Chain A
């Protein structure tokens, strides 16, 4: 999942990615790796668990002078490498501090 915020001028003022997936090593060192022939044990699992909601709270501190931002939340599935993406949902919100 990627959360981005842009100023009204279109400048990116915030970007954060959150990765949901099990992570494994060979148990011989501390490096995470892919490939069934190498993986031997999960050491961390941030994946989306069945029948459990995954919740995040992301705080975006706005730069000086910015009171309105376009926030985009992109949820996608990455396969094999980061360039191979399957879009799942994109949510756009315009958020302003002015009333």
Chain B
């Protein structure tokens, strides 16, 4: 009986510590937990595409900037950056979901790195393979449960996946569906924080404009053709201009004539008619 009491006491004492142990307390720990560099060994081409993508620098913005800096001067700004918490960074929901599973000390560390413009640290904070292929891979959690630790999710089941940390790949029912991307490429104002905020509304445009007008393609069919993980556009790549010119058409018609305003009052005039169309399944611009 004494042994049983001791066992129960030990079990109760270890719960908080083991839970704590699963949460990253520093950026370094979090980066290590979500590190997907081992994926490169077998999926080199995909990994290299991802490395060039905005998913690989979700807090950096474009042209080497740190977009998150703006949050530190907004209504979400912490009074003391050393005391910043997840509540100060609603952007984490999509730009760094793993930070929501970490201790608040990670948020404070990120706040200090952002304030200091420390690109070396901020650039380590990425939407890695694990974020999409585990954290965000299950939406029907009442039916399918939460993503399992040590399991990756893809478009099909793979019973033997040659990775010691992720030995199995299970099929995610949403991986090829637009709703998968819609988790982050949003609907409209977010009301889950103490202040509303609004980032990308692309998925809202997709379901409320593109689909009602008869559109039938998924996000992945256009942005991930042949499994491309660059998921264009990449605003730091000059090739993006070519992508835009392929997707967007401009027709121009001109007419030169003399408009008769009143008797004897001919006014030389040029009329320019422009017509812009595009192939995207969402408004342009959006994100």
Q: Which residues of B contact A59 (CB under 8 A)?
A: 269-272
Which A residue sits closest to B244, measured CB to CB? A88
Chain A interface, number of residues (Cβ within 8 angstroms): 52
Chain B interface, number of residues (Cβ within 8 angstroms): 60
Q: Are A5 and B270 in contact (CB under 8 A)?
A: yes
A47 located at the interface, meaning its Cβ lies under 8 Å from any Cβ of chain B in the complex:
yes
Q: Are A56 and B245 in contact (CB under 8 A)?
A: no
Q: Are B277 and A86 in contact (CB under 8 A)?
A: no
Q: Which residues of B contact A44 (CB under 8 A)?
A: none
Q: Which residues of A contact B226 (CB under 8 A)?
A: none
Q: Are B189 and A50 in contact (CB under 8 A)?
A: no
Task: Give Cα A71–Cα B75 distance, bound, in whole angstroms.
Answer: 46
Q: Are B268 and A36 in contact (CB under 8 A)?
A: no
A97 located at the interface, meaning its Cβ lies under 8 Å from any Cβ of chain B in the complex:
yes
Q: Are B269 and A61 in contact (CB under 8 A)?
A: yes
Q: Which residues of B contact A47 (CB under 8 A)?
A: 283-286
How distant is B243 from chain A, measured CB to nearest CB, in Å? Answer: 9
Q: Are B274 and A55 in contact (CB under 8 A)?
A: yes
Task: Give Cα A47–Cα B263 distance, bound, in whole angstroms.
Answer: 41
Which B residue sits closest to A86, measured CB to CB? B241
Interface string of A46-89 (1 = CB under 8 A from B): 01111111111111111000110101010101011000101111
Q: Are B268 and A41 in contact (CB under 8 A)?
A: no
B38 located at the interface, meaning its Cβ lies under 8 Å from any Cβ of chain A in the complex:
no
A11 located at the interface, meaning its Cβ lies under 8 Å from any Cβ of chain B in the complex:
no
How distant is B151 from chain A, measured CB to nearest CB, in Å? Answer: 32
Q: From A48, A56, A91, A95, give the contact of B248 (CB < 8 A).
A: A48
Q: From B188, B244, B271, B280, give the contact of A60 (CB < 8 A).
A: B271
How distant is B278 from chain A, measured CB to nearest CB, in Å? Answer: 6
Stretch at the interface among B42-50, B96-104, B194-202: B194-202
7 contacts between A and B (CB under 8 A): A36-B200, A40-B196, A49-B205, A54-B277, A69-B256, A75-B248, A84-B62
Interface on A for B, CB 8 Å cutoff?
A: 1, 3, 5, 20-22, 24, 27, 35-42, 45, 47-62, 66-67, 69, 71, 73, 75, 77, 79-80, 84, 86-89, 91, 93, 95-97
